[in-house]
Amino acid sequence: MIKLLQPRLFLTSVFDLDLARLRERGVHGLIMDLDNTLVGWNRPDLSRELKVWFQEVRDHGFKMCIVSNNLTDRVEQFAEKVGVMAIPKAAKPRRRSFRLAMRRMGTTRHTTAVIGDQVFTDILGGNRLRLFTILVHPIDAREYWTTRLVRKVERYVVRRPHLPQSFSR
């Protein structure tokens, strides 16, 4: 069970991801969490740095889909701002939303990576389908109350010594 909770890659933020190296691994599609992965929890702001990052991801030829457990309006409004596909109310770690994202992007489990800040939703969901999983630190300490509770257990899992080494720029 513990293997299902381990990311393949651990980074401080999405900005540390070496897109060229990820592409060399054969990844063509990115499934991304929204809250505390791309922006702070329930925050509508889109920084200039994040706009540039999205363009860089496009320039490397990646397809993208935001898969979030948050509500439809929140997720779709953000996705529209950045021009990517979105799946709200995803019920992660259930596999259905990950499969739907891959279908929409035209990718397979061998060509898809998942980027998220939570072990029990993003990483577990991606690992259940054997996708390449990337765990990032949460952007903000502000979170939904149930997420704060789960973080206490998550800290134990993340501190384990067999976490993979990151590759970054």
pLDDT in tens, 37-53: 999 877 778 899 999 99
Q: Assign 36 a pLDDT band (cuts: 50, 70, 90).
A: very high
Q: Is residue 72 part of a domain?
A: yes
Q: Compute the mean pLDDT over every residue in the chain, rounded to the nearest whole number.
A: 88
The residue-averaged pLDDT of 134-156 equals: 73
Q: Could you give the CA distance from residue 61 to residue 45 in angstroms, rounded to a whole number?
A: 25
According to DSSP, the residues that pair with 94 across neighbouring strands are none
The verdict on residue 168 lying in a domain is: no
List Cβ neighbours of 73 (8 Å cut-off, separation of 6 or more). Answer: none
Question: pTM for the whole thing?
Answer: 0.86
Structural domain of residue 57, as residue ranges?
2-158
Give the model's confidence band at 168: pLDDT under 50 very low, under 70 low, under 90 confident, else very high: very low
How high is the pLDDT of residue 161? 41
Q: With respect to residue 164, please indicate whether it lies within any of the assigned structural domains.
A: no
Mean pLDDT of 150-164: 59
Tokens coding 126 = 């991606």
- CATH code of 134's domain: 3.40.50.1000
Q: Is residue 169 part of a domain?
A: no
Has residue 165 been placed in a domain?
Answer: no
* Tally of domains in the chain: 1
Q: Is residue 86 part of a domain?
A: yes
Residue 163 within any structural domain of the chain: no
61 within a domain of the structure (yes/no) = yes
Instruction: Supply the pLDDT for residue 134.
Output: 96
Residue 68 has, within 13 A of its CA and on its CB side, a CA count of 26
Residues in CB range of 136: below 8 A, 6 or more apart:
10, 11, 12, 13, 14, 16, 37, 115, 116, 117
Closest residue by Cα to residue 73 from 42, 117, 32: 42
> Model confidence at 3, in pLDDT bands (50, 70, 90)?
confident
